[in-house]
Amino acid sequence: MVNYINGAIRESIEKGKALMSKIPGARDLGIHFAALANKANSEINDLNDELDFLYSDPAYNDPKNLRSKFLTFRSLTGKLSKIENVVIAAISRKSEDDEFVNKLVYQICNEINYPLPSPAASCLSQKYYHIYPEYNLICIPLLEAEFLLHIPDIYHELGHPLIMIQNNPKTEKFRNNLGYFNLEVKKYFDEEIKRREMNATSNAEIETLYAWKNNWLQVWSMELFCDLFATITLGPAYLWSNLHMCTKLAWDVYKVPSQKGAHPPGEARMKVAIFGLELIGFQDEANTIKGKWEEFKKIIDQKKSSDFSIALPESLLKRAAEFCLTGTQQIGCQIAKKETSDKVNLLLNDAWAEFWKQPETFFSWEQNALKQFKESL
Amino acid sequence: MSNIGLNANTFQLTGKYLDLLNDFIVNARINPAVTDVKKDQLLDFINKVIDENNTQPQYQLLSSIIERELRLNRKPASYLGTIPNEIETDNVDALLPKIEFLVDVLDNENNESLMKIRGDW
């Protein structure tokens, strides 16, 4: 297997070179993906250097370190595979709508005074809206460039890089607020666990609490902060968009997942966003959205489970809203107000207002508004 | 709003520290007197993940991943607490199994997050 691993490393180096050759030159690449392509080129180059080092380094070639050599090999090839699956795929599957979505994302960043460079946008996502903060790449489903009601999800995705990019002083205060909030989450669960241990509660129940605590620290608090960032910078349209998504996807809005890495339940996301909306002065709109949300839950017959209030207590959701608002203010982002008249903010909030006025004829209003908006960008 | 962004973050973060820890192990196995630079980097990482009051979300995430594995492997919460002293005193025999444990934890998480990004999971 010593010969095998050295052969496998050489093969991966060749794959790295082949990947580089797949990155288009300036003429084919266009403006929006140039930074992404440069980043990919430089990352592949570094990975090939590391593979070369792994191949020849005397310490890694010592028989005692064979397992570590395999492990590092897997880690480096994983990174190459990610570049292939994410960056090269985005660059080589350019769509006609990329031009529009890149302008749209830039306009949003401009309006909310986003503290980081505007991400490049690719319009061929097969997995709903998502972002790769390390590549500054946001992926949007193909048809979204032709409709308006889910566009607010872009604001949610813009929240992720604020949390994930380490050591950037421009976003440090946002991260700190999430960090302080997480300390409150830890305190809450540590006290709940301690109390149950004193009462000799079953191990299974205590393990569930540990699982929820881990989910908060690994997923939920970040996701809820992104929901809040979107609410705070866009306003009511984000909550309507969230309701719209729930009607299509997740009906088990009270189900508290204890498996690793699951999203927070829909009820928690809506509740936290309502708290956020109230904090920035949209009390009437929050009440209207709350009413429609309750109506929806009644239609789909969803009832609060007994563990929901323990896993996602209202007190923590309210604190999340307060911490996120402070963080968003401290990094200088523009907070949505009723009188905000920025182009995208107005379009998305007007779209939802129009939808509720005449849901069945909304489509023609939407197409007309979208056409005018595209011309004005 | 899929989980991809979160998985990409976990992949990036675990990969970064996996490289540091694995590099440390490889050198420590060959030469028990590890260079000061690597010691400092390792010490900095360990101090951050064992600090209960750390306010950086990325370290809180790593601490949470490690805490879960300690519990599942029935290791005491204090298992990592002696590492700083073991680094300072070059106690490689006591240190190596602990760093190897951390490498396995981060490697599993790293691999799992990559599979989720690629849609294999």
Q: What pLDDT was estimated at residue B34?
A: 66
d(CA A141, CA A363): 19
**Minimal CA–CA distance to A275: which of A312, A329, A314?**
A314
Cβ within 8 Å, pair A131-B30: no
- Number of cross-chain residue pairs from A and B with Cβ atoms under 8 Å apart: 132
Query: Alpha helix (H) ranges present in chain A?
Result: 2-22, 26-29, 34-56, 58-61, 66-82, 89-92, 98-111, 153-164, 172-198, 203-215, 221-234, 236-248, 266-279, 283-299, 308-311, 314-330, 343-357, 362-376
Given a contact cutoff of 8 angstroms between Cβ atoms, the answer to whether A34 and A120 are in contact is no
A231 Cβ contact list (under 8 Å, min separation 6): A238, A239, A273, A276, A277, A280
Q: Which of B3, B19, B25, B26 to mutate to test the interface with A (most CBs of A within 10 A)?
A: B26
d(CA A350, CA A343): 10
d(CA B68, CA B77): 10
Output the CA torsion sign for A27, A29, A35, A40. negative
C-alpha distance from B106 to closest chain A C-alpha (Å): 11
Which residue ranges of chain A lie beneath pLDDT 70? Answer: 125-126
Choose the closest CB to A133 out of B5, B26, B116.
B5
Q: What is the pLDDT along chain B (121 residues), one digit of tens a residue?
A: 567 878 888 999 999 999 999 988 998 888 766 677 778 889 999 999 999 999 999 999 999 999 999 999 989 878 999 999 998 888 888 999 999 999 999 999 999 999 888 876 6
d(CA B55, CA B61): 11
Tokens of A76: 């480096």
Q: What tens digit of pLDDT does each residue of A258-304 get? A: 788 788 999 999 999 999 999 999 999 999 999 999 999 999 999 88
**HEC sequence for chain B:** CCCHHHHHHHHHHHHHHHHHHHHHHHHHHHCCCCCHHHHHHHHHHHHHHHCCCCCCHHHHHHHHHHHHHHHHCCCCHHHHCCHHHHHHCCCHHHHHHHHHHHHHHHHHHHHHHHHHHHCCC
Output the CA torsion sign for A342, A344, A346, A349. negative
Choose the closest CB to B56 out of A179, A186, A210.
A179
Q: What pLDDT was estimated at residue B121?
A: 61
**Residue written as token pair 């395999």:** A70
Contacts of A62 in chain B (CB under 8 A): 29-30
Q: What pLDDT was estimated at residue B100?
A: 94
Q: What pLDDT was estimated at residue A27?
A: 80
B111 touches chain A (CB under 8 A): yes
pTM, rounded to two decimals: 0.94
Given a contact cutoff of 8 angstroms between Cβ atoms, the answer to whether A91 and A33 are in contact is yes
d(CA A276, CA A224): 10
Given a contact cutoff of 8 angstroms between Cβ atoms, the answer to whether A35 and A87 are in contact is no
Cβ within 8 Å, pair A86-B30: no
Which B positions 61-100 lie with beta carbon below 8 A of chain A?
A: 61, 63-65, 67-68, 71
Choose the closest CB to B57 out of A64, A68, A163.
A163
Contacts of A164 in chain B (CB under 8 A): 5, 9, 12, 58
